[in-house]
Amino acid sequence: MIPAIRQQFNESFTTQKYEAMIAEIHKDFPNQLDFRVAETPVFVPKELKIKLLQACNDIIEVLLKPDFKEKTNRAIPANQNVPNEDAHPSFLAIDFAVCKDQNGELSPQLIELQGFPSLFGYQWYLGQKYRKFFIDPKGFSQYFNRLSMASYVDEMKKVLLGEENAENVILLEIYPEQQKTRLDFEITRQLWGIEPVCLTKIKKVGRQLFYEKNGKTIEIKRIYNRLIFDDLLQNFPDLQTNFKMTDDVDVKWVTHPNWFFRISKFTLPLLKSVFVPQSYFLSDLKEYPTDLENYVLKPLFSFAGSGVKLNFTKEELDAIADKENYLIQRKVKYEPIIEDKEGNMIKTEIRMLFTWEDNAPRPKLVTNLARLSRGEMIGVNFNKNFDWVGGSCAFFED
């Protein structure tokens, strides 16, 4: 996106350097890297950065409205409603496609948003690797709000641990050692001392929760939640555990599970901005748009892109019995704007990552995640056997 920086990077790039970077990741964390790392970071010009910040602000203003909870109560399935919800999530992730507007200028378009954490540990680590093995241009940063590599770690520690000791805080997942994101879990453990703990390993005594570490029983006071209900119900429907997520227990959730549903695809029709494609709950439409080919169909209650349809007919929409659980969203056209060594152009998506301390009036933008794609959509299934695709990191022009 910044021709001089892109040329400098591509001229300095070699497959050997990339392979050396991947080898070092494997050396640092044996058997932990389970997803593709893109060959290049994304260099974001100041003009696009300003638009991304404005887009985020437009969205956050809606989340801050007094009636937001009321409007999103239906988003939480009755059998997945967790007690003791707090005033706002501890983390926020907002995904944008990089597109071009009607004037031919780069512009972000919202794809999805989550009241849920992302790869906050891994992105800290990956940014350093790109800087070590490739060019490190001056005046660019993966962080925001004057954060540095070191102060970012401190910022995250405040949100993750609060006033508790690290041993009383766990990262909750189902079989964390098997998850594709386990590399992020391990980096989280090394940076902040938070142990990844499987749901099956938690013991409940009254309203208190405990886990075992090195033969010692330790009380859990905060849960850094990385467990998605949909994953649990779809893949482990018969799993029996001593602690159920919907139990009323004496812990602080970081982030509370209800926010995964409130700030999600369900939020999209509530947003109005030049950076947000038009979205409609299927149940609200008295008649469909005449140009359905320009819309994508999304189930409200799914994750990782499951159930999304890029092409569908009026008859297929009519056949959906539970229309209240679906939306249509105007398609966005990803603009291929990153050039590889051979001159091929690649699409990108940028996820803006926020923390939100308990008493803070607004979330705080701290870092980002980027993903590169040659396929029709961003994601593993659309990018098999391609290079210069996968997870990456964006460096923003100051």
* 155 falls within a domain: no
Two tokens, residue 125: 């680590």
316 and 206 together in one domain: no
Q: What pLDDT does 308 receive? A: 87
Domain end marker among 286, 306, 331 = 331
Per the structure, the count of domains in the chain is 3
Q: What pLDDT does 381 receive? A: 56
289 and 356 together in one domain: no
C-alpha distances in Å from residue 85, one per residue of 253, 348, 379: 8, 34, 32
* 150 falls within a domain: no
8 and 49 together in one domain: yes
* 154 falls within a domain: no
Asked if residues 232 and 199 have their Cβ atoms less than 8 Å apart, the reply is yes
pLDDT by position in tens, the chain (length 398): 789 999 999 999 999 999 999 999 999 999 999 999 999 999 999 999 999 999 999 999 999 999 999 999 999 988 899 999 999 999 999 999 999 999 999 999 999 999 999 999 999 999 999 999 999 999 999 999 999 999 999 999 999 999 999 999 999 999 999 999 999 999 999 999 999 999 999 999 999 999 999 999 999 999 999 999 888 888 898 899 999 999 999 999 999 999 999 999 999 999 999 999 999 999 999 999 999 999 999 988 776 667 789 899 999 999 999 999 899 999 999 999 999 999 999 999 999 999 999 999 999 999 999 999 987 656 655 566 789 999 999 999 99
Q: What pLDDT does 159 receive? A: 97
Asked if residues 346 and 389 have their Cβ atoms less than 8 Å apart, the reply is yes
Residue ranges in the chain assigned as alpha helix (H): 3-12, 15-28, 46-63, 68-72, 120-133, 149-161, 182-192, 229-235, 258-262, 314-318
* 149 falls within a domain: no
271 and 348 together in one domain: yes
Task: Give the angle subtended at the CA of 261 by the CAs of 258 and 262, to the nearest 5°.
Answer: 85
* 270 falls within a domain: yes
Q: What pLDDT does 378 receive? A: 67
Asked if residues 362 and 327 have their Cβ atoms less than 8 Å apart, the reply is no
* AA identity, residue 396: F
Its domain, for residue 362, covers 1-143+259-277+334-398
272 and 381 together in one domain: yes
Q: What pLDDT does 229 receive? A: 85
Give the span between the Cα atoms of 309 and 142, in whole angstroms. 33
291 and 244 together in one domain: no
27 and 131 together in one domain: yes
What does the buried/exposed string (b/e) look like for 200-222 if buried means 16 or more CB atoms within 10 Å of the residue's CB?
ebbeeeeeebebeeeeeebebbb
* 380 falls within a domain: yes
Domain end marker among 314, 331, 348 = 331
236 and 324 together in one domain: no
Which three-class secondary structure state does DSSP give residue 314?
Answer: helix
* 151 falls within a domain: no
Which residue reads 């330790």 in tokens? Answer: 218
* 75 falls within a domain: yes
> For the packed helices 120-133 and 182-192, what is the interaxial angle rounded to 10 degrees?
90
Domain end marker among 254, 269, 286 = 254
106 and 180 together in one domain: no
Give the span between the Cα atoms of 125 and 8, in whole angstroms. 23
CATH of the domain at 220: 3.40.50.11290
Q: Which of 340, 256, 328, 260 is nearest to 299 (CA)?
A: 328
270 and 282 together in one domain: no
Question: Nearest 10 degrees: CA dihedral of 136, 345, 181, 364?
Answer: 60
17 and 136 together in one domain: yes
Which three-class secondary structure state does DSSP give residue 209?
Answer: strand
137 and 214 together in one domain: no
> pTM above the 0.75 mark?
yes
Q: What pLDDT does 307 receive? A: 79
